Each structure stands twice: as C-alpha cells, then as structure tokens.
Amino acid sequence: MTILVAGGSGLVGSAIVRELKRLNKKVIGISSKDVNLLDRAKTFSYISDLKPYAIIDAAAKVGGVGSNNSYPVEFLSQNLQIQSNLMDAAHEAKVEKFVFLGSSCIYPRNCAQPIKEDYLLTGELEQTNSAYAVAKIAGIELIKSYRKEYGHKWISVMPTNLYGPNDNFDLENSHVMPALIRKFVDAKRNNSPEIVLWGSGTSLREFLHVDDLAKAILVCLDKFDNSQHINVGSGDEISISDLAVKIANLTGFTGKVLWDLNRPSGISRRLMDSTKIFKLGWKPAITLDKGIETTVKWYQENK
C-alpha cells in the first residue's frame, strides 16, 4: 500500500518520508518539481494514476511573520488551491486515508493557554498571519465535510512550531528558529561583534523537532479517527530571548545581541494542549537542546 507525501522535499514532508522508509513502508514523496499542485488537472491525473492508500498533505506555502504579513494573497490563495486540489483528487481516486496538516496559527490571537482543540473559531486571529490561518481553517472544514458527506476516514493534525533539517533558512521569510540559527552561525563565521534580532524577545513559543512530528503523524494515521483536528506539541515553551541564548551558546557566538523593536514579534504566547495525542501513546523524544544542536550542525554542513 503506497503512502503519498505531498511536499516531500520540505521540512515536514522529508521527515515523514524518512520515517516511513525507516519503517519499510512504501512511500512516494513529491514536490512542486514532480507535480504542480496548483494545477488542478495535473493533480487529479497524478493521484488517479498512482491510487495511493493514503495521502499526507505536507505541501503548503509557508513562511515567517514577515512574509505572511507582506504576501497575504499568496498565502491564502495558494494554500486553498493546494489543499482543495489534493482532497478533491483523493476523493475521486477513492483514497482511503488523508492527513491534512495545519498550524497552531489557526487559533485566536488572545486564546486561553494551553490551547485546546475546542478553542478554534472562538476569537479574532493574529492579523500578521490571518490569511494563512484562514486557509488552514478552511482545510480543516473540508476534511470535516468530506467525513460528513462521504464517510471518509480523513483527519486533520495541527502541529506547533517546527524545526529541523531541510528547514527554510532565508532571513526574510523563514520561521523564528531557522532564522536565529542562520543569524548566529553566520555571525560566528564572520566574527561579527553584534547581532540584531526581530522584536523584543519576550514572546513565548513552543517548539517540536520535525522528526518527532513525523512519528506523531503515523500514530494519528493508525489510531486517530475523528472529525475534530488534533494538536501535536511538545508541551514546553521558551521565550525567544532564552532561545537566542541557547543558540548563541551552541554556535559559539559571544558578541552582543540587540533587539529591533521596529520589527514584529508576533503574538505574546502560544502553547498547545496536546493531551489527546499523548493519550494515543505518543510523546516527543528529542529535547530542545539536542534538537537545536543537530539542526545547527545540519545547517553548518549543508548551507
């Protein structure tokens, strides 16, 4: 039985492909170089020919606070197209299982913490990435609709902030973890006396290594069957300033750290309640220190 991983060359998709191969599963990972998922006809044709047992949708237009805030049309439009093309094609090809991957940004800006699945649509979204969030919320609703109308055993999984190998380390459109890693590694290489980081550093974030997420997704594929989405997080949080200290220590940077208050910090806190997946038997195995250490090493060797 073939499992198709859409977005198979990206941060999340490549981790899922690695884990499936480790388990000796038949897996095919595709990227935009293989199939343009924005092209509805080509997406339908590819899924129809392959007829996979399951599709894991890790394909999306993603980015950090800056790019989300600057290009809302692309983040909304392209993500809506990718996910609806994939789901509609999967339905036509009678794909048994489908895992839609979202993001913790689907939850309201001023959400009670830790965030339970029930808190979806209970308040206003964070405006800097609301377009991306709306696209992901639409994906959750389409999964629920396919379950309701056609009885599909399709599910939605909402991971927290992710990091690891194959991440996007571009300084203008990456997420906070890879951006910090690149800045500190580059500053160390260049013997820079100081480094400038975005925001105030006081925001709290939860992080999960992408290899832990890959294992969680396969647990959900096997054990989870519910119309409501399920959170996947580490259960731990850290301030961006403390995260910067960790990365500075691991990269050997000893210069001065400055904070640019004219740059956005995003929401002040986002910690997810992952009780449901913990009850399924999954727990993260990679500590934040170990995860950062291996990701720094990967960036140094590959970038």
Which residues are the active-site residues? 132
Q: Which residues contact 207 (CB under 8 A, 6 or more apart)?
A: 160, 161, 162, 163, 177, 234, 236, 238, 243, 288, 291
* Sign of the alpha-carbon dihedral angle for 65, 71, 77, 81: negative
* Paired tokens of 289: 């220190």
**CA–CA separation, 229 vs 140, rounded Å?**
7
Residue labelled with tokens 């989405």: 229
**CA–CA separation, 220 vs 85, rounded Å?**
23
CB 56 within 8 A of CB 221: yes
CB 65 within 8 A of CB 128: yes
**CA–CA separation, 197 vs 56, rounded Å?**
34
* Paired tokens of 275: 């009780």
> For 248, how many CA atoms within 13 A lie in the half-sphere containing its CB?
19
